[in-house]
Structure 1
Amino acid sequence: MRRLNNLVTLFSAMFAFFFGCFLTNTLVNIDKTPTKHSMPGSAHHNGEYFLLILIYSAPSYFERRETIRETWLKLSNPIRHNKYPEEFIYLPQYDARGFLQMEDVKDQINRLSHFKDWLSHEDENDANNRRVINSKYLFVIGTKGLSNTLLQEINKEQQSNNDLLLLHDVYDSYSNLTNKVLRSVEAVMNQLSFDYILKADDDTYVKLDYLINELLSYDRKLIRNFEQYKNSPIPQLYWGFFNGRAQIKTRGQWREPNFYLCDRYLPYALGGGYIFSRGIAQFIESNSRQLSTYVSEDISFGTWISALRNIYRRHDVRFDTGYMPRKCRDYHLVLHKRTKEQMYDLFEKNFCTFEATNEQMVKRPMEYFYDWSKTADKCCDTIS
């Protein structure tokens, strides 16, 4: 009987061992199975969120965050506009040498004309055009080194709204903004599933309904034309107002002592607001520890992805995202440097209240179309 019990025990142990090996091997293989989350350059990730909105905010700017919650963040759901026509959407193609072709100046002018014409005939109150697009927003805040009082206030805000991305190992300062962007991209790539990111500052107003509407049309057209890119990487969208002629800053808070790649910054979208696709976020996350962090985050961002051949740099005059507002236009979609009062005015569709009575005395930045066929010193001379 004792021998029989020993045999049963032996066979049980052997069964448990082999079953454990089988189970372990199965789990390891499952873990190694490629998923959409790890596939760079896929045409459409089809994430849980179509658009992830990251708003970079200073820890003490409670009022700015509340203003944004009460204004443009309310515009995303439902979208009450007619679907933006896909025939107005430009899809870049590769040339014979494998370079992705950007829109020329004529295409950019025509696209703006189409949008203004569509805007003038668009009926946003059509009850049949109410679409819910899954998006999520987060205010990005670095909390390292903050006082206990400020931390308590931020935690209270988080308990009330649950919309803060708190980076506990990041000092929140302008000089550390590039690192803040890097760490936030790492965080969302590890925690969330999405297709596109909108990066904005906490003094930026976004006509979010129009922006998502057009982004959705672009995305759908890209999916429908997926086969034409079968021999090349899928274009990754980088959408904003680009500068390619900015000279290296040698003094002041924007001084870049370590930028020696060229005598000008490489083309970049101005930092008040821009959109980029998940493939770009994945590249940045995968290489974050090797990327140089220059003082200006938007210059850093443009430099990081400058060598990638599948970046669609979509220059758009509707992004008013510079260090000060350009002359007000009702077709602007992303508007930087707006106060609380101006945001509420914009939300009520009073578009140009920020312009002073002595507007002719204000020297505002020029609005231009980008000529990708010219050298950096002549890229931005075609005035809108």
Structure 2
Amino acid sequence: MHGSRRKLKVVLMTIMTAFVFIIVEISRSTSQNKNGHKIRIPTKPFWAKLTPNDAFWNRQQQKLDHLNNPILNGPNGSFGGVLPDWLNDTVVQDLCEPDYKVMTQVKNFSLLPDRFKDFLLYMRCRSYRMVVDQPQICRDQPFLLLAIKSLASHFDRRQAIRESWGRAGVLANKTIVTVFLLGKATAVDHFPDLSPMLEYESSMHRDILQWDYRDSFFNLTAKEVLFLEWFSTRCPNASYIFKGDDDVFVNTLLIINFLKGLSPAKSQGLFVGDVITNAGPHRDKKVKYYIPENIFVGRYPPYAGGGGYLYSGVVAHKLFGIINRVPLYPIDDVYTGMCLRKLGLAPEKHKGFRTFGIEEKYRNNPCAYKSLMLVHPRSPQDIIKIWAWLKDPALNCQ
């Protein structure tokens, strides 16, 4: 009798142990995914009502994010097609006419410097009439497209580039095409009328691209957008693009050799330059890159310094496809970083890009430039001199 009770107790204990083990295993399996990683259960609501940001640019980005969200704006969208007042802009007008509504939408608009007022009034405009085009310049598919930001008055800089690192044609058995990107030098900025000289230059070299907009520092972002649009229609098969300023020295031969050595996978997603990380807007009004808090708040994404960067044609097409989902920002290289982030991409830092120059003691050493892809800034005379150094067959840097 006692033996049977003992057996029953053992059986019950075994069953209880097995039950506890099963419960534990079920609990573990439900808190892990198939890769064995623990699943974190959210502690906060997944969706919260969107409230407008006080900074104007951030608020514009909120609008675009909402309007381009297929879940929120599909047939079963959460707002049923009815948008909150601050998201709904029903006024139909020419996007390139001054948008005077911003005067009431931007806090303390009247206290902003004139360059900000001008930028904000025309911020929505992304399409300007093209004054000078080169529709056949990419008829021979270029391996490398050099797109150089310039001002109408910078004749000497453009000519120095043509006579050195930006010479169009064939280099190291690769086709190179060079274009200079210009807006209009306006009387508002006290420029003399240079149009006859520019027309002559364009007829001589056939490498000028010009749009009918005010060529100012804040409008460099518009130049970026307009170039991507031009690229998508006039030069869509370029394998790679170098985009930079007209006061940089570029070791074009080194860039070509670098590109030749890339794997197919690496070349497709290429975007390299002198990358700046953990940066944010300058709040000092004396700084060229000053951005007030009523315009933008937050940190900048990683971005390549606008002196010059190198990227693939594949990435260029992706950038063109995303630019309408990112509001124009007054600083063009930061804007490009914002677009890359929207694509889920990030620029890669390359030690050969020196957008902040090199040490004084190396500036007159020809060998210092042999392993660098870009040095900024350099005068037209420096550009020609450095190119001559590197082309000299007697140069020995061992």
TM above 0.5: yes
CA distance in 2, matches of 1:164, 1:65: 10
- Residue 279 of structure 2 corresponds to which residue in structure 1? 246
Listed as ranges, the matches of 1:1-384 within 5 Å are 48-74=141-167, 77-79=170-172, 132-143=173-184, 145=186, 149-168=193-212, 170-192=213-235, 193-218=237-262, 221-222=263-264, 235-250=268-283, 251=285, 252-257=287-292, 258-260=295-297, 262=298, 264-309=299-344, 311=345, 313-322=347-356, 324-326=357-359, 328=362, 329-330=368-369, 331-349=371-389
Is the Cα–Cα contact under 8 Å of residues 143 and 151 in structure 1 kept in the other structure?
Answer: no
Question: How many angstroms does 1:304 deviate by?
Answer: 1.1
Is the Cα contact below 8 Å between 1:291 and 1:304 reproduced in 2? yes
Give the alignment's Cα RMSD to 1 decimal.
Answer: 2.5
Q: Percent identity?
A: 25
Whole-Å Cα distance in 2 between the matches of residues 179 and 57 of structure 1? 13
Instruction: Specify the code of the residue in structure 2 equivalent to 1:53.
Output: L
CA deviations on 1:228-269 (whole Å, 9 max, x unpaired) are xxxxxx951111111102232113331223332x3x321111
Determine the C-alpha separation between the residues in 1 that align with 2:358 and 2:199. 33
Residue ranges of structure 2 left out of the alignment (5+ in a row): 1-139, 363-367, 392-398
Q: Deviations over 1:182-208 (max 9, x none)?
A: 111111211113121100100011010
TM-score by length of 1: 0.57
Contact 1:76 1:212 in 2 (8 A): no
Q: Which amino acid in structure 1 is aligned with residue 250 of structure 2?
A: V
User: What TM-score do you get using the length of structure 2 for normalisation?
Assistant: 0.55
* 1:35-85 Cα deviation digits (max 9, x unpaired): xxxxxxxxxxxx911111100001110011001111112497332xxxxxx
Contact 2:355 2:375 in 1 (8 A): yes
Is the alpha carbon distance of 1:74 and 1:144 closer, same or farther for their aligned partners in structure 2, counting shifts above 3 Å?
closer
Q: Give me the whole-angstrom Cα distance separating, in 2, the residues matched to 1:202 and 1:182.
A: 18
Provide, for residues 267-321 of structure 1, a one-character-per-residue CA deviation record: whole Å limited to 9, x for no partner.
1111111011222222222233332222221111111111333x36321111011
Q: Distance in 2 between matches of 1:283 and 1:214?
A: 22
Aligned residue type for 2:223: K
Range 62-71 or range 147-156, more displaced: 147-156
1:346 Cα deviation from its structure 2 partner: 0.6
d(CA) in 1 for partners of 2:358 and 2:169? 24
Q: Distance in 2 between matches of 1:137 and 1:206?
A: 13
- Structure 1's 304 and 78: CA in aligned 2 closer, same or farther, altered over 3 A? closer
Larger radius of gyration: 2
